[in-house]
Amino acid sequence: MMAVNWRALLQENRDLFFNIHNEEIKEGKGYLGAAANAEKVESVKEQVFEYYISDVNARLIYEKTLKLVATSEKGVNLIEVEIIDLFKSILEEGQNPIEMFLYCTKALNLNDRNIYQSILRILVSVCNLSKAGRDALISVLKSWSWDIQMKIAIEVIRTIKEKSAFDTLLLLFDNESLKIEAAECLLDIGDERCVRPILNMVNKFNGFSVNERNVAFRLIDRLSRFGEDALSEILKCYMNNENKSLNTVYSNVISRSKEMAIESLSKMLYNDEYNQKAAITLGKMRIESATDRLIEALESPLIEDKINIIIGLGYTKDKKAVKYLMNMLENENFKSDVKACIITSLANLEAFEAKDIIKKYMNDKELRINTMSALVQLGEIKYLGGLFEYLISPNNSYSDISCAIKELKRLKGFKDSKISKEITNGVRYLIRNNDGFACLNALRILDTNIDDSMAEELILKLKTTKKEEIQYTIYKILGKNTGLLSNIINERIFIDASFNDSTRIRYLAQKIIERNYKGKDKLIKA
């Protein structure tokens, strides 16, 4: 097949837009990328401003605003003072200059930090002293559609902590471009009524996206500082699985709250519905009082299934927990699933003194994988080969293969470690040198945190493999990482989006192109 100059085609056809309907996707019609998307044409209202401004004053504001560009750095302060004085006099006349000033900023380069900061200083100075000025900012958020000017208004409201903007800011939670700024503005204002609305907004995030996960953590962490009532709402979200993909984020935030959350979480240890999350979160706190509550629960006859408590102890990094777990591991009465958790928790606790006890289970078929994984974590990297053998041999049971993959994923999660690098190299080797069972298993180890070099490895595999299942698995991985990787779009993806015989692969390739070019070069018909 002749190579397609996909970059040139995308550029040439940047203004062409096509609808993609479900029926067309099912039939495999070759459309590239986006859902219905027409070029946005802003319709300017007849009345842009809610507040009156005379033509004379409007012209004065425009002329003064333009001087922010033409003035030297030294003269900016003088111009700012002139504009502030002008606004005060206009307000005294019963007119409102704020909307006109914000509108005039459309003529400025707002990417220039000095100009942007100058605009903020002017607005903060005027609106701090004028309720009419503050009302105009809120009006802008209600009726305008220019995101940059609205962001300026939000920033000013955030700085002056204007509580009357509460309801208007909540409405912006439906605006994809402004919802984060609106939420952070509410947090800075400090109105506790924002707790549940912000949590509701965050719970709509895609927790598999690194960027959205980071934003969620930042917002929830700030909410947790509002006090016990806010923390109680956060606990409810976590315990009730309001967004499962954000459970780790919730757990991390709650664990930072430490003493404030310990009492509530300790009670939840005795509730079968919540004790796993409670135990893990207490463990993540890594303070003595939290460890003591877990040990107390471990010894309590009220808790029959100790697995979740054992997992929680593994997070504590507290050596006090080691002796309890070692004693349990030597007890023959515990079932294999309990012992597997003990072995992993001892490894998480870096209990090097437990190596000899752990090695006793190397020949136990049910515990062999967990034993090798724990020993790798405790420094014996030679056992990594044993875990990879489960990926290569088709004679192993599906449950054993899945368990080995789970352990390799867990070990790979130790960032910047020798273990993680060795596993990445092993995955890379299998992807390059196998085109079947072992390659698919290796792909299952990869998650949403691949880097550019691994993306290039996967795209190279797309060029060499004819196996649909391998192609499909690779596209699922790439799709989860779209937007995070600078080099994800490649000629291979463009060709598959147009010509691949598999409808599902064609569709995934199209979605990758759509997301990568959103707001830039759009799509073309193949």
Q: In this predicted model, what pLDDT tens digit does every residue of 12-26 receive, in sequence order?
A: 444 433 333 344 334
Superfamily designation of domain 272-379: Leucine-rich Repeat Variant (1.25.10.10)
266-284 mean pLDDT: 93
**Segment 469-483 mean pLDDT:** 88
Q: How many helices (H) and strands (E) does the chain have?
A: 30, 0
Of the two residues 33 and 370, the one the predictor is more confident about is 370
Statement: residue 42 has pLDDT above 50: no
Residue with tokens 């009726």: 143
For residue 50, the model assigns a pLDDT of 86
pLDDT number for residue 36 = 33
- The pLDDT, as a whole number, for residue 24 is 38
Does residue 95 contact residue 53 with C-beta atoms inside 8 Å?
A: yes
Q: Is the pLDDT of residue 169 over 80?
A: yes
pLDDT for residue 20 = 36
Rounded alpha-carbon distances, angstroms, from residue 370 to 363, 364, 365, 464: 11, 10, 10, 35
pLDDT digits (tens, 9 = 90+) for 237-263: 999 888 888 999 999 999 998 888 998
C-alpha span between 326 and 358 (Å, rounded): 9
**Angle, helices 147-160/131-143, rounded to nearest 10 degrees:** 140
Rounded mean pLDDT, 213-224: 95
> What pLDDT sits at residue 2?
41
| CB atoms inside a 10 Å sphere around CB 312 | 30
CB 32 within 8 A of CB 506: no
What's the pLDDT score for residue 500?
Answer: 92
Average pLDDT of the segment spanning 114-135: 94
Paired tokens of 188: 């800075």
281 has a pLDDT exceeding 60: yes
pLDDT tens string 317-366: 999 999 999 999 998 889 999 999 999 999 999 999 999 999 999 999 99
The amino acid present at 461, given as its one-letter code, is K
Instruction: Give the pLDDT band (50/70/90) at residue 70.
Output: low
Binning pLDDT at 50, 70 and 90, where does residue 448 land?
low
Residue 146 pLDDT more than 60? yes
Residue 44 pLDDT greater than 50, yes or no: no
Closest CA to 389 of 375, 377, 403: 403
Rounded distance between C-alpha atoms, residue 206 and residue 214, angstroms = 11
Query: What pLDDT band is residue 508 in, cutting at 50, 70 and 90?
Result: very high
* pLDDT value for 417: 83
Quick check: 138 and 164 in contact, CB under 8 A?
yes
Give residue limits of the domains in the chain.
57-190, 192-257, 272-379
With bands split at pLDDT 50, 70 and 90, how would you rate the model's confidence at 71? Answer: low
| 392 within 8 A of 445, measured Cβ to Cβ | no
At a CB cut-off of 8 Å and minimum separation 6, what does 502 contact?
468, 471, 472
Separation between Cα atoms, residue 334 and residue 307, nearest integer Å: 11
Question: What is the pLDDT at residue 207?
Answer: 81
In a 3-state reduction of DSSP, which class is residue 211? helix
Residue 1, pLDDT above cutoff 60: no
How many CB atoms within 10 Å of residue 102? Answer: 24
Are residues 348 and 314 in contact, defined by beta-carbon separation less than 8 angstroms? yes
The count of C-alpha atoms lying within 13 angstroms of the C-alpha of 291, restricted to the half-sphere facing its C-beta, is 16
- If pLDDT is split at 50, 70 and 90, which confidence band does 31 have? very low
Share above pLDDT 70 across residues of the chain, in percent, rounded to a whole number: 87
Select the more confidently predicted residue: 479 or 295: 295
The reported pTM is 0.71
Is the pLDDT reported for residue 4 higher than 50?
A: no
Mean pLDDT of 292-300: 96
Torsion of CA 320, 322, 327, 332, to 10 degrees: 150
DSSP result, 464-488:
H---HHHHHHHHHHHHHTTTT-TT-
Distance CA 510, CA 30 (A): 9
Mean per-residue pLDDT, 96-106:
93
Of 175, 87, 180, 75, the closest CA to residue 132 belongs to: 87
Please name every residue paired with 459 in a beta bridge, in sequence order, or none if there are none: none
Token pair recorded at residue 421: 């690098």
pLDDT at 515: 76
Query: Torsions phi, psi of 31, nearest 5?
Result: -100, 140
Contact indicator for 139, 51 with CB cutoff of 8 Å: yes
Q: Is the pLDDT of residue 6 over 90?
A: no
Contact indicator for 116, 84 with CB cutoff of 8 Å: no
Structure tokens at 476: 């699922």
What Rg do the C-alpha atoms of the chain give, in angstroms?
29
Distances (CA, A) of 153 to 121, 161, 185, 499: 12, 12, 10, 48
Q: Which pLDDT does position 485 carry in this prediction?
A: 65
Rounded to an integer, what distance in angstroms lies between the CA atom of residue 281 and that of residue 353? Answer: 26
